[in-house]
Amino acid sequence: MIDDVYLHPLTLVSGPQAVEGEAVRLGGSMAYAREFALVLRRDGAVAERIVATASQMDAAIARLPDLAAKEAAQQWANLAKVHAPLQLGGRTIRLDQPQVMGILNVTPDSFSDGGAHDDPEAGRASAAAMLEAGAAIVDIGGESTRPGASLTFEDEEIRRVVPAVEYCAAMGAAISIDTRRAGVLEAALAAGAHMANDVSALRYDPRSIELVAASRCPVVLMHAPGTGDDLHAGGNYGDVVSEVFDFLKLARQRAIAAGIAEDRILIDPGIGFGKSLGENLALINALPLFHALGSPLLLGVSRKRLIGALSGEEEADRRLAGSIALAMKGMEAGVHLLRVHDVAETVQARNVWRGLRDAALTDFSQLPPL
């Protein structure tokens, strides 16, 4: 019987010198791990769990059956994979530190800021403020994907997003288009967008995967359990972490088989999409595992319902502190892109975190004398 393999980073450290060099840099980020759990699952249950440090991992992998060992070796290599910068138009987005992606919703019914950017002047002002505050990318969305949202037709979604893409392109912004429809993506790319962010992982519209491959644009593949109009449907998990990992692994393989270059794929565990509070928390705690897929990580947790569930059911526009707390958790895990509503505040938190991490990486007082 073939075992499913998962390589979980366990012990995160401030830098390699804190553990005398025995740490792995996760996904080329500013996150480092010393100990790892090599987990084999069989028939939905854990069959074996081996905890090893970086120097012990080769020996631990060698103990496994051939197929499991091959998969473990690939995941081990992926954990330390350094990702090339994203080239989005004239902008180069380096992935060696956390970058902030600002959310620009041009929808009347978004859960957090619905209708705020219906007026192009308001949208333009918001986009300019995000860029001035330090957003590396502006992510434009014309369809609400909150639970229970009304279905948006393709021509209406195009009508909403194309003007926003055009005014962001005029500012020289790096632009991502948040859509699951090939027609919308095609129109947005023609108007100046550079990147696709597909909440269905290119499953909803059969043309999307071909379009992304042909256009050679980077794409975010997100986990959502639903296969039809309702992306939140069908979220029944035995073990949410391994099942989301498996889904994204298959989505990534499917994209590569369709001709999408491996270095243009990013992944997103889909926090809040068809998952309970406990399942969302489990995924956030397991974020370092997803480096084992070999692609940069995007985390979208800004103002989401789980924050309200943990803090007296605060409304979406009162969830800034919780959003920052989750963004910090993502940074500690080595997430490359943070998709947020509150750009200035998140950039400030990122800069402080970056200062602390820089100080830890340049503190040689912990090293033994020569």
Residues annotated as part of the active site? 304, 339
Instruction: Give the amino acid at 370.
Output: L
Tokens of 35: 């100990």
Q: Return all residues near 154 (Cβ < 8 A) that are at least 6 apart.
A: 181, 183, 184
CA distance 195 to 198: 10
Burial letters for 196-219: b for 16+ Cβ neighbours within 10 Å, e otherwise?
bbbbbbbbbbeebbebbbebebbb
Q: How many CB atoms lie within 10 A of CB 163?
A: 15
Quick one: which of 321, 325, 322 has its CA closest to 353? 325
Q: Is 320 exposed, middle or buried (0-12, 13-18, 19+ CB in 10 A)?
A: middle
CA distance 326 to 311: 13
